[in-house]
Chains A and B, each alone.
Chain A
Amino acid sequence: DGGITQSPKYLFRKEGQNVTLSCEQNLNHDAMYWYRQDPGQGLRLIYYSQIVNDFQKGDIAEGYSVSREKKESFPLTVTSAQKNPTAFYLCASSSPGQGVYGYTFGSGTRLTVV
Chain B
Amino acid sequence: AQSVTQPDIHITVSEGASLELRCNYSYGATPYLFWYVQSPGQGLQLLLKYFSGDTLVQGIKGFEAEFKRSQSSFNLRKPSVHWSDAAEYFCAVGADMGSGYSTLTFGKGTMLLVSP
Q: Report Cα–Cα, A107/B44, bound state, in Å.
A: 8
Looking at the complex, which one of A41, A58, A95, A105 makes contact with B103 (CB distance below 8 Å)? A58
B interface, size bucket:
20 to 34
Q: Which of B42-58 contact A (CB under 8 A)?
A: 42-46, 49, 51
Q: Mark B87-105, 1 if CB is under 8 A from A, else 0.
A: 0001000101101111111
Q: Would you call A31 an interface residue if the criterion is a C-beta within 8 Å of the partner chain's C-beta atoms?
A: yes
Q: How many A-B residue pairs have CB under 8 A?
A: 76
Q: Report Cα–Cα, A60/B109, bound state, in Å.
A: 19
Residues of B within 8 A of A113 (CB): none
Q: Would you call A8 an interface residue if the criterion is a C-beta within 8 Å of the partner chain's C-beta atoms?
A: no
Residue of B36, B43, B49, B94 contacting most chain A CB atoms (<10 Å): B43
In the complex, the answer to whether A43 meets B42 with C-beta atoms within 8 Å is: no
Give me 19 other A-B pairs in contact (C-beta within 8 A), A90-B44, A101-B51 excluded: A33-B103, A42-B108, A43-B44, A43-B104, A90-B43, A92-B44, A94-B101, A96-B99, A96-B101, A98-B100, A99-B101, A100-B100, A101-B32, A101-B49, A102-B36, A103-B44, A105-B43, A105-B45, A107-B42
Q: Which residues of B contact A (CB under 8 A)?
A: 4, 9, 32, 34, 36, 41-46, 49, 51, 90, 94, 96-97, 99-109
Q: Which residues of A contact B (CB under 8 A)?
A: 4, 6, 30-31, 33, 35, 40-45, 48, 50, 58, 88, 90, 92, 94-103, 105-108, 110
